[in-house]
Amino acid sequence: MKTGFWKSISIILAAAMAFGLFAAMPPAAGAAVPTDTPFDIGPRADTGDDPANAIYVSPAGNDARATGKIDAPYKSINAALAAAKPGDTVVLRGGTYREGVNVRVRKPDITIKSRKGERAVIDLSSYDRGHDEDSGVYFDVDSSGGKLRGVEVIGGYYAVCMETRWDWGDPANRKGASNITIEDCVLHDSRHDVIKIKPNCDNITIRFNEIYNSGTAFKGGEGNAEGIDNVNGDNMAVQHNYIHDICSTAVYAKGGATDALIEYNRIERAKEAGILVGFDTSPEYFDLKANPGYYENIRCVVRHNLIIGTGLSGIGLYAAKDAQIYNNTLVNVANGGLYHSAVYFGISYQDWESYAGRPASVNPSIRNNIISQPSSFVRPMIEIRYANELGGLSALEGSPLMGDNCYYVAGKKAAFSDRRPGSLLDNAGLAAWQAHIKGDRGSAEADPRLDARYLPANPTCAGMGTGAGASIQKPPTTPSTPSQANSGAEASAYVVKQSGNQNELYITVTERSAGGMTREVKAMYKINNNAVGTYKVGNYRVYVNTKGNDQIRDCRVVE
Ligand SMILES: [Ca+2]
Ligand SMILES: [Ca+2]
């Protein structure tokens, strides 16, 4: 697909080559973030004012004479970090920093940020001798509470790495670097993963970044280099990022990662999958007290992502427990042709260890998604894998809870497959699939007619896909924790007047768990003046009375 992004890049490249400027061109610094996305992605310009305790660093600074004040900055970020106390902010002036080693954060609650209106670049594409394993920015085990904001990082083994005590040091303290926020950054051209989250690195928030070109170590060949690779880090939030041109999978959370929230990201051109809920992890990384069944992923929420152009599944589930996959839009996914389906149930092997668990995925909820595929697509929309190895491995236990999805393949019928011997279904149509799983009600096979911003123009798809309804909003400041145990649900609604007799009705159902956590399900319907009706919102039906044209006279969950 020739997107605006590629057009603009082509023009820049042509201009650069014509004028011989290519080598001297400054990094793009997020300029290539596409604007045809129905929610905000990529770095925000405002990195905040300098705090009173700022320690300044400048490429023109001098470590020997530095005070850290703005008129006597450090030259080296690591020298400033050595002088910093917990709670300090290291403010980087514009320009390129080549430390030759990790920028290594060893103390808690340190912020590293570009100065407002300036762009600092940490370039680790060349190394000091013997440091080619170093990352661009390395949050060491004692760096919890750290922040990285508004900085570009080029290269590194990982561009940004969170370190753990999982397998070394004091056995009474296995914690990793936690409560870290990476925001408004441009992170790219790492030799392996762009962002690495190791076990027990919990509460990592990654938002409003541009993340691209992983795996430069592989020089265009096959290799494992994710955009975001999370192995057993809990409560990760990945929000409003633009993640593109990834050498393997754009984002995965595996090894028993719990409560990840992955939302409002645009993922484009991943050679392998877009988002994997779980994958395949060596057994020694699992926390068997919290997760005795060796689930790769627990309670992940994947919603409102736009995923375009992946070689393997747009979204895959591997040994995933209680995953929720809703309101995502998938375009031209699983286009490699050989493996996976658009949404795929895969199998974990966990190193084939006799004691490992490799459970089937269980209790997934997949609803209100749009999958729009070109005529070149040859794989199923959904496939449940089965493997004969290790006594027989099923990718899913029971049937998935599904509904209100839109499936479309240009010029062809959508196909659905279940490879489990006890419930075989081979490339069947939607109606046969619905009968097979006794579900996926309310789903349609229809061209969503995605517009220039990937929103469905086909009214059959109202409430489906990313950006549906009133859900185009900023992310919460803290990741929400989803829960399966809903003790109640409340509905609210409002009307937006359109031309003539036409209105848009936005409905939100807020689920409350017994533990007090909340989760929202949203839908939008085109209605006429004074409409009264019952509307589907996720798995709920909500009665709304709009008598008085745009007034909400009554709004309640009826089932
Ligand atoms: Ca990896
Ligand atoms: Ca954990």
Is residue 2 included in any domain, yes or no? no
Residue 242 burial class via C-beta count within 10 angstroms: exposed 0-12, middle 13-18, buried 19 and up: buried
Q: Which of 475, 503, 526 is the endpoint of a domain? A: 475
pLDDT of amino acid 556 = 79
Do residues 269 and 165 both lie within one domain? no
Is residue 17 included in any domain, yes or no? no
Classify each residue of 289-317 as buried b or exposed e, where b means 16 or more C-beta atoms within 10 Å of its C-beta.
eebeebbbbbbbbbbbbbbbbbbbbbbbb
Do residues 471 and 490 both lie within one domain? no
Do residues 116 and 261 both lie within one domain? no
pLDDT of amino acid 4 = 39
CA proximity to 252, closest of 294, 193, 189, 188: 193
Q: How far is the CA of 305 from the centre of ligand 1 (A)?
A: 21
Q: How far is the CA of 356 from the centre of ligand 1 (A)?
A: 21
Do residues 345 and 398 both lie within one domain? yes
Q: How far is the CA of 193 from the centre of ligand 1 (A)?
A: 5
pLDDT of amino acid 471 = 41
Do residues 427 and 470 both lie within one domain? yes
Do residues 117 and 173 both lie within one domain? yes
Distance between CA 514 and CA 517 in Å, rounded? 7
This prediction's pTM: 0.80
Do residues 245 and 271 both lie within one domain? yes
CB 229 within 8 A of CB 252: yes
Is residue 8 included in any domain, yes or no? no
Beta partners for residue 89, in sequence order? 54, 111
Ligand nearest to the CA of 249: 1
Q: How far is the CA of 321 from the centre of ligand 1 (A)?
A: 22
CB 309 within 8 A of CB 332: yes
Q: How far is the CA of 276 from the centre of ligand 1 (A)?
A: 12
Q: How far is the CA of 45 from the centre of ligand 1 (A)?
A: 30
Q: How far is the CA of 104 from the centre of ligand 1 (A)?
A: 21
pLDDT tens digit at each of 559 positions of the chain: 333 333 333 333 333 333 333 333 333 444 589 999 999 999 998 889 999 989 999 999 999 999 999 999 999 999 999 999 999 999 999 999 999 999 999 999 999 999 999 999 999 999 888 888 999 999 999 999 999 999 999 999 999 999 999 999 888 899 999 999 999 999 999 999 999 999 999 999 999 999 999 999 997 667 899 999 999 999 999 999 999 999 999 999 999 999 999 999 999 999 999 999 999 999 999 999 999 999 999 999 999 999 999 999 999 999 999 999 999 999 999 999 889 999 999 999 999 999 999 999 999 999 999 999 999 999 999 999 999 999 999 999 999 999 999 999 999 999 999 999 999 999 999 999 999 999 999 999 999 999 999 999 999 999 999 976 534 333 333 333 333 233 367 788 887 777 677 777 888 888 766 555 667 788 888 887 777 778 888 878 888 877 665 667 777 777 6
Per the structure, the complete domain to which residue 288 belongs is given by: 226-475
Do residues 421 and 363 both lie within one domain? yes
Residue 25: CB atoms within 10 A of its CB come to 12
DSSP code at position 457: -
Length of the chain: 559
Q: How far is the CA of 224 from the centre of ligand 1 (A)?
A: 5
Which residues are placed with Cβ below 5 angstroms of ligand 1, an ion? 193, 224, 226, 229
pLDDT of amino acid 546 = 76
Tally of domains in the chain: 3
Is residue 33 included in any domain, yes or no? no
Distance between CA 496 and CA 502 in Å, rounded? 9
Is residue 543 included in any domain, yes or no? yes
Q: How far is the CA of 202 from the centre of ligand 2 (A)?
A: 7
Distance between CA 299 and CA 274 in Å, rounded? 18
Do residues 543 and 458 both lie within one domain? no
Q: Which of 142, 175, 195 is the endpoint of a domain? A: 195
Do residues 285 and 172 both lie within one domain? no
Is residue 27 included in any domain, yes or no? no
Do residues 462 and 505 both lie within one domain? no
Is residue 203 included in any domain, yes or no? no
Do residues 321 and 349 both lie within one domain? yes
Q: Which of 448, 475, 502 is the endpoint of a domain? A: 475
Is residue 11 included in any domain, yes or no? no
Q: How far is the CA of 110 from the centre of ligand 2 (A)?
A: 24
Classify each residue of 248-261 as buried b or exposed e, where b means 16 or more C-beta atoms within 10 Å of its C-beta.
bbbbbbbbbbbbbb
Ligand nearest to the CA of 281: 1
pLDDT of amino acid 538 = 82
